[in-house]
Structure 1
Amino acid sequence: MANKTYRLFFCLFLLCVAPSLVFGQAKNDKTVVGKVGKQEVTYAELKKNYSSGSSEEPTLEDLESFLPIYLDYKAKLLAAKDQGYYEDSAMVAEHESYVKQAAYAYWLENEIKPAAFDEFKKRAEMELKTYHILVAVAPDAPQQQVDEALSKLEQARKEINDGVPLDEVNEKYSTVRGGRSMGGDIPWISVGRTVQEFEDVVYGLEVGELSEPFKTQFGYHIVLLQDKRERTPARLVNHIFVRGTGDSTAYDKIYSAYDALEDGKPWNMVLNQFTEDGASKRSNGRIGWVSYRQNFAMDFVEAIAGQDPSEPYSEPVKTNYGYHIFKIDSVETYASEEDRNQALMEQLGDTPYFEESNQFVVEFLQKQFNAEKHSGNEDLYKKWVLAFDTVAISTLPEPAGLGEETVYTFNGQNYTIDDYHGFIHNTYGKRKANAYRSNLLDEFARKVVDENIIEMTLDKYPEFEKQSESYLNGLVVYNINEKNVWSPATVDTSRLQSIYEENIKKYQYPERPFYYLMTSRHDSILTKAKDFVNNGGSPDSVKFRIDRIGVSVDSTTNFTQEPFDRLSEMEIDSFSEIFDYNNIRGIFWLEDRLPARNMTFDEAFNRILAEFQPQREKEWLQQLRDKYSVKVYVKKLRKAYDKDA
């Protein structure tokens, strides 16, 4: 009864009090903690825009420090707007360029990567055994060759379905290159092991199913899924290796190593005595992780996958590489699903499933939004262009009678031959008509996607507009800071001159060496230069009298870094020893030691400007605060924070 009464009281409390708490929080968020012109800055806005690089809630001290900085930022935005920065053509172009690139990144991270990962993870659970017939066809092969390849594959497909042995069909139809068939049996594969077009097909088949003909970069295939099994975990492998020979020498040597292990000798001792793999010998025979995903020879992977990981080492095994004794240190496992996902995501980055490139996004969007090239109409346009032979494309007339025909469709929008011709005219106008090639339609298609990607991103992700606005604001603030704080062109030079004259003793050069630095790839050339100068030649003449040598003249006050620390110990009119310098060889000639002196105003200018910059910024910010009546309400901030806490 007591518990029931408590629950009733608690529900009544939430019903009566919670709305007032929500209202109180909302009201607190609307507390005005600062003003810039007519713009009010609320407590909620301040918290939202605060960033310390930490996920923790900001302290009152954090917010008090940030408030004037944020109000100054808002004042800079108003100043930039008043001064026309938002309408500046260069600014608009730079902003558009950024937004476009950000749009590509948005699709990668929010759409493509998650979809690719889901598919990759699903496929990573399985391994497939396949057999394929391949007719090699070049990517730009004429249609006649493509048709011939497809005809062969249809016939091969019929014979396989009729029960003709796979090897016979492969021998009859697959292309032979280097004396070997390009088709045939493919050992077990896992995700990311083959080109994506091949993988997309085989992972879509049922065991025993034969595919329709399809294209990859190698040509046209048909593939039979022979078997499917759960993925074999990767294994962390060490080995003792002996190269294969034409006689029994390698066999005898690997068994001598095995006998030594069986007699109780330590692995590292046997390894150092017998292995012929110098690279792995330095790391206790470590090869690394081996699985069906990697580009090891399949018989090598099969041999490792067949070993019992609980055994301290395997019996000798022969592969295409030679003879091995394997020692499996670990079998791939994950402490949590999160760890597994992270590992798979790293693997995904090494496959064609996901590439961080604009072209990859273009191809995704073309599939997603039903892009279609109308090849028949492009053929008509091609015939029309080529008829002009050596005439420059820029002088061609409009393609009368063809202009309204659709050559490309994307996202429900049709693009005509007139559109395409305009692109060809503007991009390749200097070319002759007979240089036209059909692959320019692919370039036009990419341009269409590129021109539409910002609008498409805004439609798909409304929040993207805020990112775009934030970057534009950041861009104008950077540029207005550049003009008013950092730029030498807009500084009051007379003030810098006054600072210089009032502190002239501060701007001095100490005594410093005046030297020649001579560089070459060969010591012999530097020696020749040394002999030339020591025999009375001028250092200024070295680069004209000696080939393949570089000569620079300078002075320095920095004696701490190599090789300039040598200069402090050198005598005037002498050479240093030859030394390494920027991946070549170098030598110093010390011409003189320049006496200490005051800098001229021009020499001291950059130093004075850097020292004056904090004062310059302080004065400019005060001007902004006065102009836009910046108000800081610290007491209201503290009160809002206390209520928030």
Structure 2
Amino acid sequence: MNKIIGFLGVLCCFSGIAQEKETWLLQIENTNVYADEFTYMFKQNTELFADEQHKVNNYFPLFRDYQLKAHEAERLGLDTLASFKKEYTNFEDNFFNNYITQGPVKDNMIKETYSRKLKELEASHILIATPDASDTLAAYKKAKDIAEQLQKGADFKEMAKEFSDDSSAKSNAGYLGWFSVFDMVYPFETAAYQTPVGEISAPVKTRFGYHIIKVHNERENEGSRRIAHIFIQEDSLANAQKEAYMLYDLLEKGEEFSVLAKEYSDHKASVKKGGEFGVFTRRMLRPEVFSTQAFLLEKERTYTKPFKSEYGWHLIKLLENNPILSYEEEKPDLYQQLKQSGRAKQIQNKLVDSLKIAQANRITYAADEKYFAQHLTTLLESKEYTDFPAEKLYLKIGEEQYTYQDFLTYAENNWRKVQNLPEAKRVNAIEEMFKTEKLLTDYKKYLFTYDSDYRNKLLSYKKGMLVFELLQKQVWNKAQQDTLAQKEYYKTHQNKYVSSQSYNIDMYASPTKKEAKKIQKALRKGKDPQEINHKYNVVYTQGVFPVNSSKIPKAYTPAEKVSEIYKNNTMFVVINLYEEVPAQALAFSAVKGKVISELQEELEQELVKELHQRYNLKTNQETLRKLQQQLE
């Protein structure tokens, strides 16, 4: 996948692709279809020609007819239908969002995530909340003042107890314990990992408010452990220590940990599972002595000596050790976690930031900064646009120009998205949203022009939709709904709708030839088939079967009512013939589904023939020859 970088880089990196795109393969009137689109679609459909030679020559007619149908759909304006535009726009937006998360920005975020995953931090914080999206300026000033006092030597614990809006701060002085990547919201996590041990961060904004973070310590992330344990509660038995060591001695003598846990452990939640406690990281386990002992175990199936915590006595067994793996091994899982955590939005934000820098010379912010700050809310509420400079230039990106009216329309449609913000920030927020959308729209155009992978995936989907709409309109619906055409097709192709010659038979399959002979003899004596079926160890089948049915032995000939014995795979078969059913014409009602299907095929062939006659087609034979050399 091509690099997602600034436009200057895009133009450099994709110049070769642009040259390849100029190599046309097919012309339909004045519209070029390029070689790279053929290459993309050919590779998507290689299974059609897996065992064939001359694959390119065989695929090219299908590709050409597909392009003709897509061209005809555009001529008919099917791409302007509201339903089509809605579906395609949704696909394009989703595809673009997924596409931009595949490049270097994504890789950088995964690398950042991995580097953070290698460490665990111990920290405290002070929260200055911004409830109900109230004015954040006062909250920021308060947080900034607290941070300055802390930098001058104020006691963090005391400041947390006095000023923090975290309800737990009164009892824990803002202490958060240990955490790692994904445990905190992204802005908080980033600030924490960028703050050296022993230092205090500047105020950082999250959806909860402003945080001042103090990082106390850091340690290596040892991954996770799946453990089992036995817990002896001190108040349940005076001699808990003695019992714990007795259990340890039994383990040393070979007793199963799970058996002892079920019988002796006081931890009710894990007793039924043989003491199995689940999968935990070190920071998830409490108390500290418990997590320390659990992570001292490295070899699976080993266990600790008894140790005491504030709750009682414990023995821990390591069932599974899951250390942090290499970057390449962790990468797929980290990417999925990034997507699920919502941090993929950060990828888009970083892309937008890089585009603003790289495209500075292509962007013109022409709007009067004060105009909308003063008038937008009034315009939206009153809907009175007297003296509104609708055609005045608001923004220009490359050759694309957006007017004051374009921005106002966008604000009308998206104002609800900023209504939870402080009133003073709404106009600026909606303006930034508008600029971002237009910047990304421009980037989509560049990708479509210079990135063949991006372009061909979109073209494939769009043309596939167009061909579907065309065939549904002119082929499938017509064949489905036109009963006269169906019956006419049935009448003119009557010889195709004939039943196969068949046999009405009883068939007896036995595992031994000896028993098959007994069955044959009984049939020739006129014994009742059901009586034979019950008397002998036999697989009995009755019905009307086509002469070429795989169930009938290939050597079978209906010379007599009761057949000779045939070996069919591992069974010995005797057939009792009632009648030979000759081939006969099938009623329309019996073959209607097949008639419709074949009528659709005929209508599609007629449509393609008509399109070949309607349009002026040219094939670049030199390009086709090069494709044969490249792809075969």
Q: Provide TM-score, normalisation by structure 1.
A: 0.60
Q: Is the 8 A contact 1:303 1:319 kept in 2?
A: no
Instruction: For 2:381, give the aligned amino acid.
Output: I
1:393 aligns with 2:381: yes
Q: Is the 8 A contact 2:244 2:314 kept in 1?
A: yes
State the alpha-carbon separation in 1 of the partners of residues 413 and 27 from structure 2.
Answer: 51
Q: Is the 8 A contact 2:29 2:617 kept in 1?
A: yes
SS at structure 2 position matched to 1:206: coil
Q: Is the 8 A contact 1:235 1:329 kept in 2?
A: no
State the alpha-carbon separation in 1 of the partners of residues 209 and 630 from structure 2.
Answer: 70
State the alpha-carbon separation in 2 of the partners of residues 65 and 265 from structure 1.
Answer: 70
SS at structure 2 position matched to 1:454: helix
SS at structure 2 position matched to 1:177: coil
1:265 aligns with 2:258: no
Aligned residue runs from structure 1 range 513-532, under 5 A: none
Q: Is the 8 A contact 2:373 2:427 kept in 1?
A: no
1:455 aligns with 2:453: no
SS at structure 1 position matched to 2:101: helix
SS at structure 2 position matched to 1:114: helix
The one of 600, 617, 623 equivalent to 1:613 is: 600
How far is the alpha carbon of 1:313 from its aligned partner?
0.8
State the alpha-carbon separation in 2 of the partners of residues 143 and 637 from structure 1.
Answer: 63
SS at structure 2 position matched to 1:223: strand
In terms of mean alpha carbon deviation, does 83-92 or 198-207 score higher? Answer: 83-92
State the alpha-carbon separation in 1 of the partners of residues 396 and 208 from structure 2.
Answer: 28
How far is the alpha carbon of 1:72 from its aligned partner?
2.1
The one of 268, 290, 294 equivalent to 2:280 is: 290
Question: 1:318-357: per-residue Cα shift (whole Å, max 9, x none)?
Answer: 67998653222343357865324334434444545x33xx
State the alpha-carbon separation in 1 of the partners of residues 445 and 70 from structure 2.
Answer: 24
State the alpha-carbon separation in 1 of the partners of residues 604 and 390 from structure 2.
Answer: 62
Seq. identity, %: 19
1:228–1:266: structure 2 CA closer, same or farther, 3 Å change rule? same
State the alpha-carbon separation in 1 of the partners of residues 285 and 628 from structure 2.
Answer: 61
State the alpha-carbon separation in 2 of the partners of residues 330 and 368 from structure 1.
Answer: 44
Matched residue, 2:228: 239
Question: 1:455-501: per-residue Cα shift (whole Å, max 9, x none)?
Answer: 12333672134444343322322222222332248865422133567
Matched residue, 1:189: 179
Structure 1 unaligned spans of 5+: 1-29, 508-598
Q: Is the 8 A contact 2:407 2:434 kept in 1?
A: no
State the alpha-carbon separation in 1 of the partners of residues 402 and 239 from structure 2.
Answer: 67
In terms of mean alpha carbon deviation, does 212-221 or 456-465 score higher? Answer: 456-465
State the alpha-carbon separation in 2 of the partners of residues 448 and 62 from structure 1.
Answer: 48
The one of 208, 212, 216 equivalent to 2:206 is: 216
The one of 300, 305, 308 equivalent to 2:297 is: 308
How far is the alpha carbon of 1:622 from its aligned partner?
4.0
How far is the alpha carbon of 1:117 from its aligned partner?
0.9
Question: 1:551-574: per-residue Cα shift (whole Å, max 9, x none)?
Answer: xxxxxxxxxxxxxxxxxxxxxxxx
RMSD: 5.6
SS at structure 2 position matched to 1:191: coil
State the alpha-carbon separation in 1 of the partners of residues 136 and 631 from structure 2.
Answer: 72
Q: Is the 8 A contact 2:160 2:173 kept in 1?
A: yes
SS at structure 2 position matched to 1:208: coil
Question: 1:370-423: per-residue Cα shift (whole Å, max 9, x none)?
Answer: 6999998876458x64xx9xxx925445597999999x9999999998766544
The one of 430, 433, 449 equivalent to 1:446 is: 433
Q: Is the 8 A contact 1:240 1:276 kept in 2?
A: no
Question: 1:17-65: per-residue Cα shift (whole Å, max 9, x none)?
Answer: xxxxxxxxxxxxx999x99889999999755541256799966254454
How far is the alpha carbon of 1:201 from its aligned partner?
0.8
Aligned residue runs from structure 1 range 135-284, under 5 A: 135-138=128-131, 140-143=133-136, 145-147=138-140, 149-150=142-143, 153-154=146-147, 156-158=149-151, 161-162=152-153, 164-175=154-165, 177=167, 180-181=170-171, 183-229=173-219, 231-242=220-231, 257-258=247-248, 260-275=250-265
1:241–1:151: structure 2 CA closer, same or farther, 3 Å change rule? same
State the alpha-carbon separation in 1 of the partners of residues 463 and 131 from structure 2.
Answer: 50
Instruction: For 1:203, give the aligned amino acid.
Output: Y
How far is the alpha carbon of 1:243 from its aligned partner?
8.7
SS at structure 1 position matched to 2:305: coil
Query: How many aligned residue pairs are there?
Result: 502
1:424–1:610: structure 2 CA closer, same or farther, 3 Å change rule? same
1:194–1:82: structure 2 CA closer, same or farther, 3 Å change rule? closer
Question: 1:523-576: per-residue Cα shift (whole Å, max 9, x none)?
Answer: xxxxxxxxxxxxxxxxxxxxxxxxxxxxxxxxxxxxxxxxxxxxxxxxxxxxxx
Higher relative contact order (CA 8 A, sep 6+): 2
The one of 33, 44, 69 equivalent to 1:76 is: 69
Question: 1:93-124: per-residue Cα shift (whole Å, max 9, x none)?
Answer: 65444333322222222254222112112222
1:237–1:197: structure 2 CA closer, same or farther, 3 Å change rule? same
In terms of mean alpha carbon deviation, does 366-375 or 147-156 score higher? Answer: 366-375
Matched residue, 1:475: 465
Matched residue, 2:531: none
SS at structure 1 position matched to 2:228: strand
Q: Is the 8 A contact 1:31 1:43 kept in 2?
A: yes
SS at structure 1 position matched to 2:43: coil
SS at structure 2 position matched to 1:203: helix
The one of 91, 94, 119 equivalent to 1:101 is: 94
1:44–1:364: structure 2 CA closer, same or farther, 3 Å change rule? closer
Q: Is the 8 A contact 2:143 2:203 kept in 1?
A: yes
SS at structure 1 position matched to 2:200: coil
State the alpha-carbon separation in 1 of the partners of residues 37 and 274 from structure 2.
Answer: 59
How far is the alpha carbon of 1:214 from its aligned partner?
1.9
State the alpha-carbon separation in 1 of the partners of residues 438 and 353 from structure 2.
Answer: 17
1:458–1:250: structure 2 CA closer, same or farther, 3 Å change rule? farther
State the alpha-carbon separation in 2 of the partners of residues 103 and 493 from structure 1.
Answer: 44
Q: Is the 8 A contact 1:31 1:640 kept in 2?
A: no
Instruction: For 2:42, give the aligned amino acid.
Output: Y
How far is the alpha carbon of 1:273 from its aligned partner?
1.9
SS at structure 1 position matched to 2:229: strand
Matched residue, 1:126: 119
The one of 315, 324, 327 equivalent to 1:325 is: 315
State the alpha-carbon separation in 1 of the partners of residues 333 and 208 from structure 2.
Answer: 30
1:51 aligns with 2:43: yes
Aligned residue runs from structure 1 range 490-569, under 5 A: 492-499=482-489
Instruction: For 2:100, give the aligned amino acid.
Output: W
State the alpha-carbon separation in 2 of the partners of residues 427 and 348 from structure 1.
Answer: 27
1:337–1:283: structure 2 CA closer, same or farther, 3 Å change rule? farther
1:179–1:261: structure 2 CA closer, same or farther, 3 Å change rule? same
State the alpha-carbon separation in 1 of the partners of residues 593 and 84 from structure 2.
Answer: 27
The one of 477, 493, 498 equivalent to 1:487 is: 477
Matched residue, 1:525: none
Q: Is the 8 A contact 2:123 2:214 kept in 1?
A: yes
How far is the alpha carbon of 1:131 from its aligned partner?
2.9
Q: Is the 8 A contact 1:100 1:453 kept in 2?
A: no
SS at structure 1 position matched to 2:160: helix
SS at structure 2 position matched to 1:220: strand
Q: Provide TM-score, normalisation by structure 2.
A: 0.61
How far is the alpha carbon of 1:203 from its aligned partner?
1.4
Q: Is the 8 A contact 2:125 2:214 kept in 1?
A: yes
1:414–1:301: structure 2 CA closer, same or farther, 3 Å change rule? farther
1:128–1:247: structure 2 CA closer, same or farther, 3 Å change rule? same
State the alpha-carbon separation in 1 of the partners of residues 465 and 196 from structure 2.
Answer: 55
